[in-house]
Chain A
Amino acid sequence: MMGPFDTNRATRRHFIAGAAGLAAAGSASARADNVKNLPPNVADWTRQLGQAVGVRGYGNPSKYEKDVVRRTVPWLTATPESSVSFTPLHQLDGIVTPNGLCFERHHGGIAEIDPNDYRLMLHGLVDKPLIFTLDELKRLPRINKIYFLECAANSGMEWRGAQLNGCQYTHGMVHCVQYTGVPLKLLLEQAGLKPNAKWIMVEGGDAAAMNRSIPLNKALDDCMVAYRMNGEMLRPEQGYPVRLVVPGWEGNVWVKWLRRIKVGDLPWFTREETSKYTDLLENGRARQFTFVMDAKSVITSPSPQVPVKQKGFNVISGLAWSGRGRVKRVDISLDGGRNWRTARIDGPVFDKACVRFYYEVDWNGEELLLQSRALDDTGYVQPSKDALRKIRGVNSIYHNNGIQTWALKSDGEVENVEVG
């Protein structure tokens, strides 16, 4: 399968084909107000009864929110079963991503697993190889944690310059969710580790049987075998009934539809940690096992899909996260990185979770170059794209955490731009 991230050539081919049509910046078309519902008139929904309880057994968002969806970039991959859909970050606020909007990345489609037939196998360098049913996993002590999950290839299409016009596409391979599950350490203790245990291999039960190696230290530190997200059972797209949670590390190791954990003394060097998810540098050598997601942020509104509608008071809003710890501060620039001021973080700040930031402005219509930069509690400062390129070149696909620039024009439109 072509990863969504082997895009350099695909993209160029696409330019030639010119098949994208008009860029779809801007919001859904504004509908005219219906004066019948406006004061002094009494609105329809006030004069008549609404739908009864129970009609909406599992409630959906309002019909007026139907354009709040995950979106795909069809030219990115050879097949939709091994592809990606993006979180509509520009239409969300706060830190928690609704379950149905969490981005998807599958390598062999969505496995639809009957929970009665679910089994987790734990074997290798252990005293007692074990199999757990879902009910058994649910009987064990459980914990609740909020973590971000970012695909290593998030922003991977932007290495060579501004390409996709919307933060959904440039940054939408991230979500932040509360997980409920069993600490992986507890499961490993049930099996008992042999003294030479150093690595684990985790494997999915989907048609790609995705497998990755994880150092035992991380497995014993904060990994979770999770079965719930935001209170309800995992969505099929997110690995129902069980996925691995690997806080702060690239999404690819958070194996979904988890069927097997094998304990070993060396890494496996699977296809997904060699041919893919290694970071090719300019000299032709590649970094491997680049697990941690560095600090990153993006202004989600305004952004190309949600332009500014009115001059005057406006709130700039965005998301920040770091795989190394807590986000400590977020700075905002209105002039493309010449001057910075500190944004206000609002809402809870958790380790390896998204934080929400705001910066309030009175906008008189002048053109702005909006940027945000995240700082974490290890002292790491989100770098500019040029600073990253200086070290890594433009071929590495993965781990692009460079500072994003949005150009705000006098008519309120916003564009993804590259600055120099």
Chain B
Amino acid sequence: MSRWVRPLLVVVLALAYTGAILAQEKKEAPRNYGVGHLATPEQIAGWDIDVRPDGQGGPVGQGSVKDGEKVYLDKCAACHGEFGESAGRWPQLAQGKGTLASHDPVKTVGSYFPYLSSVFDYIRRAMPFGDAESLTNDELYAVTAYVLNLNDIVDDKFVLSKETWSKVKMPNEGAFFDDDREKSEKAFWNPNPCMKDCRGPVKITGRARAVDVTPDESTQKRGME
């Protein structure tokens, strides 16, 4: 065998071997069923309303705290209260600072929401309740600015826009962490749970009837056909 052939043979065999492995590992390309249509940029633009914490997706527009106050009083205050304090049972939007670790936590935009986008994206898609996606972009920026102002997050002169977006810092941003149950609740995994004499004497410490908040069922029946 010439001194050329042997290395060549090695290379050829090696290539063949690699090829075989590649062929084995190569996943079958997903089948294209040819079902569905290309979405046009215009179609996407009409529905593409989500906004991320970094502001990606935010529309063109701007709104001041002052303009926002008008929008808010007109379209929001009836449920959320003039100062975000809630009118009745609707969500409270302001105050609640320092209550999260208490017996009675009050979760508001200022006390709980981690990002500006969490409130902005929500107003954009779902508010005013019953009249969703009706605000102009300027109204949306303005009313969000006003809610931030109610929470003392921005001052009275603030104008919210794509440009000022990153200036807004939400107070509770650092208070969230990813699901850690598999570590923090590891004790709940137990291949041999106790079956006999697992605890001391059992006492009843609370009763639903004493609380008495269960609805009257006689008022909730299927209509007769």
Contact = CB atoms under 8 A, between A and B. Distances in A.
Nearest to B35: A136
A199 B164 CA distance: 27
Interface residues of A, number: 119
A144 interface: no
B202 A336 contact: yes
Contacts of A122: 36, 39
Contacts, number: 300
B204 A418 contact: yes
Interface string B94-131: 00000011011101010011110111011001100110
Contacts of A268: 50, 52-53, 117, 121
Given A23-B214, A269-B117, A274-B118, A417 B190 contact: no
A61 to B, nearest CB: 8
A14 B213 contact: yes
A166 B211 CA distance: 13
Interface residues of B, number: 87
A69 B180 CA distance: 38
Nearest to A186: B30
A24 B215 contact: yes
Contact of B104 (A8, A20, A67): A8
A339 B122 CA distance: 49
Contact of A15 (B129, B209, B211): B211
A129 B36 CA distance: 10
A41 to B, nearest CB: 27
Contacts of A8: 104
A73 B88 CA distance: 17
A25 interface: yes
Contacts of B2: none
Contacts of B119: 271, 275
Given A8-B104, A24-B216, A78-B89, A131 B115 contact: no
Contacts of A194: none
Given A22-B216, A129-B44, A379-B189, A266 B52 contact: yes
Contact of A23 (B125, B133, B212): B212
A54 interface: no
A227 to B, nearest CB: 14
Interface in B22-43: 30-33, 35-39, 43
A301 to B, nearest CB: 16
A275 B107 contact: yes
B222 A270 contact: no
B215 A331 contact: no
A230 interface: no
B195 A379 contact: no
Interface string A1-27: 110001011110011001011111100
B50 A285 contact: no
A71 B218 CA distance: 11
Contacts of B20: none
Interface stretch (B3-11, B67-75, B154-162, B170-178): B170-178
A162 B211 contact: yes
Given A339-B198, A375-B193, A419-B204, A380 B122 contact: no
15 contacts: A1-B90, A60-B225, A78-B88, A122-B36, A131-B37, A132-B35, A208-B132, A271-B121, A274-B112, A286-B112, A338-B202, A380-B189, A407-B204, A417-B206, A418-B205
Interface of B: 30-33, 35-39, 43-44, 47-50, 52-53, 79, 88-91, 100-101, 103-105, 107, 109, 112-115, 117-119, 121-122, 125-126, 129-130, 132-133, 175-181, 184-185, 187-191, 193-199, 202-209, 211-218, 220-225
Interface of A: 1-2, 6, 8-11, 14-15, 18, 20-25, 60-61, 63, 65-69, 71-75, 77-79, 81-82, 107-108, 121-123, 128-132, 136, 139-141, 161-166, 169, 186, 189-190, 201, 203, 207-209, 211, 259-260, 262, 264, 266, 268-272, 274-275, 278, 280, 282-292, 294, 304-305, 331, 335-341, 369, 373, 375, 378-383, 387, 391, 395, 407, 415-420
